[in-house]
Amino acid sequence: MAPVPREAVAKAILNTQGILRLPRAWYRLVEWKRREEAIGKDVIDADAKKLGVTKDLAWSNDGKMALVIESDEEEFFLSFSEIERIGDVVFVKAKSSLATAPSIICPVCKHKNLPEAKFCAKCGRTLEQKERKRSQPQTE
């Protein structure tokens, strides 16, 4: 992405409500990516070790975005602020950036379900409260 020229910065003005109005040319500098460009990529840490594969996107109530990383029967959240770069692979600043994703494991089929699930998405079994307690979120 090209640097923003100083004269363009000088043209940014505040409107009557005090909101910064940016020149239309600035919007062309943003390179938007689609979900499909991030899913299925290997996640690599600073030590060149594979941590897992991107599975999905996640977001918090306050608007923060993360990638869902799948690794050896576990899922993790990786905040976008902890991603160094996304190309052919996803480079992570540190392995400690991964936070365990909460899930409920079905005792019958061992399928990972969303934490708010009342029934298993794979076999339909009712998920008990005790399964919810066993799979509380942890951080590494």
pLDDT tens sequence across 106-127: 989 988 888 888 999 999 999 8
pLDDT higher at 17 or 80: 80
Q: What is the pLDDT of residue 93?
A: 81
Q: Is the pLDDT of residue 3 over 80?
A: no
Measured at the CA of 133, the angle between CA 132 and CA 134, to 5 degrees, comes to 95
**pLDDT tens-digit map of 46-104:** 888 899 999 999 998 888 899 999 988 788 899 988 888 888 999 998 878 788 888 88
How distant is the alpha carbon of residue 40 from its chain centre? Answer: 13
Please give, one letter per residue, the 3-state secondary structure of 79-118: EHHHEEEECCCEEECCHHHEEECCCEECCCCCCEECCCCC
Q: Which CATH superfamily is domain 35-100 in?
A: PRC-barrel domain (2.30.30.240)
Start-end of CATH 2.30.30.240 domains in the chain? 35-100
Contact 61, 71 (CB under 8 A): no
What percent of the chain shows pLDDT beyond 90?
A: 22
